[in-house]
Structure 1
Amino acid sequence: MKIYTKGGDEGSTSFYGGKRVLKNDLLVSAYGEVDELNSSIGIALAYLKNVHINYGNKWWYRHFTKNKVRKNIIKQLENIQNDLFNIGFELATPHEEITKKEKTGVFKNFVNENDINDLEIAIDSMQDSLPPLDNFILPTGILPAAQLQLSRAICRRAERTIVTAAQEVEISKNVLVYINRLSDYLFVLARFIHIIFDGQPEKMWNK
């Protein structure tokens, strides 16, 4: 099967169910930014899985690769990537199609309260290991941490677009809550990786 269809050459695309819309439609922008977020998290995962390519034999690499925490973080991020695909699918599906398919049991994988709860548990667990913040920190650090800070910023942008779209079309509350909570998770995870595995103080905003 060819990767290109030529169906979007005039600037339109299809929602699930076949409805054609312009590619600058708010929902298209929303799920496009969710896709960008997912790809950004994928880069962070690549750093976490193949960190020796970037850091050789530094202490934090030797410690990080032997630690069960690393495997747990990777698993969390892989689960989040799946959640983001589900969110993108939901945003690309007109509400009437969701209602129709829910009755037949076709749609079962949209994000739910359990997914949100998983994020909150992870946030609270990491937060207990971190020093309290009384100032803004600069988005920097070792590569996985810096990449997660970028992912956090992309997540906030995606959230703004989803909120704007939600003023015009119906969007699940779970999507809004999940994306909001995810940005908090990415921020805390970036701090956690930097402090726990790099061991260097965070760089504070010099106001």
Structure 2
Amino acid sequence: MKIYTKGGDEGNTSFYGGKRVLKNDLFVSAYGDVDELNSSIGITLSYLKNIHLNYGNKWWYRYFTKGKARKNIIKQLEKIQNDLFNIGFELATPLDQVKKKEKTGVFKNFVNDKDIKDLEVAIDSMQETLPPLDNFILPTGILPAAQLQLSRAICRRSERSIVTAAQEAEISKNILVYINRLSDYLFVLARFVHNVFDDKPEKMWDK
């Protein structure tokens, strides 16, 4: 199968079901931002899986690779990538078709209450280990932490795009809840990675 179809050469694309829309359609913009978010998380995943290429025998690298933390983070982020792909697919599917497919059981992978709960459990677990914040922190630190902060910012943009699209047509409420919770997860995970695996304190905003 060819990668290029030439069907979008005039600036339009298809939703699931065949409806043709312009590529600047609000829903196309929304799932485009979700795709960018997913790709940014992929950078963090690649880094964590190949961390030995960057830090060799540093003490925190040994702790990172032998402990459960790295494996748990990788597992969580891989699931999130799959969830985001499902969200993108759902945003590209008219809601009446989503409901129809869910009733017939054809599609069972759209984000649900359990997916949201998984994020909340992970947030609470990491939050218990972190020092309390009494100021804003700057989005910096070791590379995976800084990259997660970038993903958090992209997640917030994705949320804004989805809210804008939702003013034009109804979408599943779970999408909005999931994306909102995901930005919190990415913020806490960035802090967790920095505090556990870096020997320098978080950089605070100098008001």
TM-score tier after normalising by the smaller chain length: over 0.9
Opposite residue 175 of structure 2, the aligned amino acid is V
- Alignment partner, residue 69 of structure 1: 69
Q: Any residues of structure 2 matched to 1:21-170 within 5 Å, and which?
A: 21-170=21-170
3-state SS, counterpart of residue 138 of structure 1 = coil
Identity level (%) = 85
**Alpha-carbon distance between aligned partners in 2 of 1:99 and 1:192, rounded to the nearest angstrom:** 38
Opposite residue 120 of structure 2, the aligned amino acid is E
Q: Which runs of 5+ in 1 are unaligned?
A: none
Q: Normalising to structure 2: TM-score of the pair?
A: 0.98
Report the CA distance between 1:103 and its aligned residue. Answer: 3.1
Report the CA distance between 1:26 and its aligned residue. Answer: 0.4
Opposite residue 7 of structure 2, the aligned amino acid is G
Aligned residues of 2:86 and 2:109 also touching (Cα < 8 A): yes
Structure 1 runs (4+) greater than 4 angstroms displaced: none
Report the CA distance between 1:205 and its aligned residue. Answer: 0.5
Report the CA distance between 1:105 and its aligned residue. Answer: 1.4
Q: Normalising to structure 1: TM-score of the pair?
A: 0.98
**Alpha-carbon distance between aligned partners in 1 of 2:103 and 2:79, rounded to the nearest angstrom:** 26
Opposite residue 196 of structure 1, the aligned amino acid is V
Q: When the two structures are aligned, how many residues end up with a matched partner?
A: 207
Report the CA distance between 1:23 and its aligned residue. Answer: 0.3
Report the CA distance between 1:101 and its aligned residue. Answer: 2.1
Q: Which runs of 5+ in 2 are unaligned?
A: none
**Alpha-carbon distance between aligned partners in 2 of 1:102 and 1:112, rounded to the nearest angstrom:** 11
**Alpha-carbon distance between aligned partners in 1 of 2:97 and 2:66, rounded to the nearest angstrom:** 47
Report the CA distance between 1:107 and its aligned residue. Answer: 1.6
- Alignment partner, residue 176 of structure 1: 176
- Alignment partner, residue 11 of structure 1: 11
